[in-house]
Structure 1
Amino acid sequence: MKLSPKQLAQAFCNETQEKIEDVLVILNSIYINKQLMNSFLASPQISLKEKEEALTKLNLKKDMVNFLLVLVQNKMINKLDQIIYQIKKINEQKNNVAKFDVISSVLLNDNELSEIIEKLAKATGKTIILANIIDESIMGGIIIKSEDTLMDLSLKNKLNKLKADFIRS
């Protein structure tokens, strides 16, 4: 039975003694080094023992080496980017953090961003990480997006609703 990246991430986070932030730094550096990923860890010509020796020489902790070897053995090393993403999500949940994008037609000032952060923190009960994305096509207002939330408070959306109401009547 193949495990999903989410299940693998959860299992690793449950077993590791390392801080998840440190794990993410290491996994990201391995993932970014595509040569290590593609030509070495994913290569069937290189024995598992050789891969273990090479990973150990990188001064990785034993649980990290074991985790990467499990991925190699189960032909899941190519899913490392998805596993890293899931570990980040687990870390955000553990630290009670929520990430949001605020899309606006102009760059919002610090006071506006602080007000949005304050309202989102109050609504979610979480620490908020906010990214301000500029999209001139929304004309005005803002769109607040997270992985599972969308609040479209843009002028473009309001005009589209007015247009739809006008057409219906």
Structure 2
Amino acid sequence: MAQLRTLARPYAKAAFSAAQDQKQLAEWSEVLTVAGQITANEDIRQLLASPGTEEQKKADMILECVGDNVTESVRNFLMILAANRRLSLLPEIAALFNTYRADFERTVDIEVTSAYELTDEQQQKLAQALSTKLERQVSLAASMDKSLIGGVIVRTGDMVIDASVRGKLTKLADALGS
């Protein structure tokens, strides 16, 4: 996985730079995300790995699946990936591109899991508090997990804040076991 990310990074940076220059971050993001989802499919992965199909045809197939809203620069980018036999990197490229976009736009997606359903007011207050703490615009997705007993778990990227009763009990058990 780390090797794929390393290979994808220069392509993602180039795509982000092009999208930024053209002021088309949203458009590029949408197309790369869809193309990444397409190429993440196991059947498509096998087709991309097949030596019997021309790289140009593989790129055309992905473009056909993506739809009509593809700009010439995105089309050229996908053709470059095809020429370098890097179409299989599209899921990683899309993920990196979206990370660069979020950093540039100062946004963050946060998943909140709570023991009970959060009201809209609670979600709003939590989003405001996290926005202040992280100094970013927060997009909150809430879910429920009764096994937490109480409290919440907040996840974004590689950051996890476990303020659940279950998490505190686990920490206490670990401390007593030491």
**More displaced stretch, 59-68 vs 120-129:** 59-68
Aligned equivalent of 2:30: 25
1:131 counterpart SS class: strand
Residue ranges of structure 2 left out of the alignment (5+ in a row): none
1:27 deviates by 2.8
Per the normalisation by structure 2, the TM-score is 0.77
Kept in 2: contact 1:27–1:84 (CA 8 A)? yes
> Against the structure 1 CA distance between its residues 28 and 125, is the aligned structure 2 distance closer, same or farther, given a 3 Å change threshold?
closer
Q: Deviations over 1:72-129 (max 9, x none)?
A: 1222101111111111111111111011111111221111111111111111111001
Per the normalisation by structure 1, the TM-score is 0.80
Q: Which has the larger share of helix?
A: 2
Q: Is 2:7 the counterpart of 1:4?
A: yes
> Against the structure 1 CA distance between its residues 139 and 4, is the aligned structure 2 distance closer, same or farther, given a 3 Å change threshold?
same
Kept in 2: contact 1:42–1:72 (CA 8 A)? no
1:163 deviates by 2.9
1:152 deviates by 0.8
Alpha-carbon RMSD across the aligned residues, in angstroms, is 3.1
Structure 1 CA distance for aligned equivalents of residues 129 and 117 of structure 2: 19
> Against the structure 1 CA distance between its residues 50 and 114, is the aligned structure 2 distance closer, same or farther, given a 3 Å change threshold?
closer
Q: Deviations over 1:4-29 (max 9, x none)?
A: 22221111111242511111222334
> Against the structure 1 CA distance between its residues 163 and 70, is the aligned structure 2 distance closer, same or farther, given a 3 Å change threshold?
same
Aligned equivalent of 1:133: 143
Residue ranges of structure 1 left out of the alignment (5+ in a row): none
Aligned residues: 167
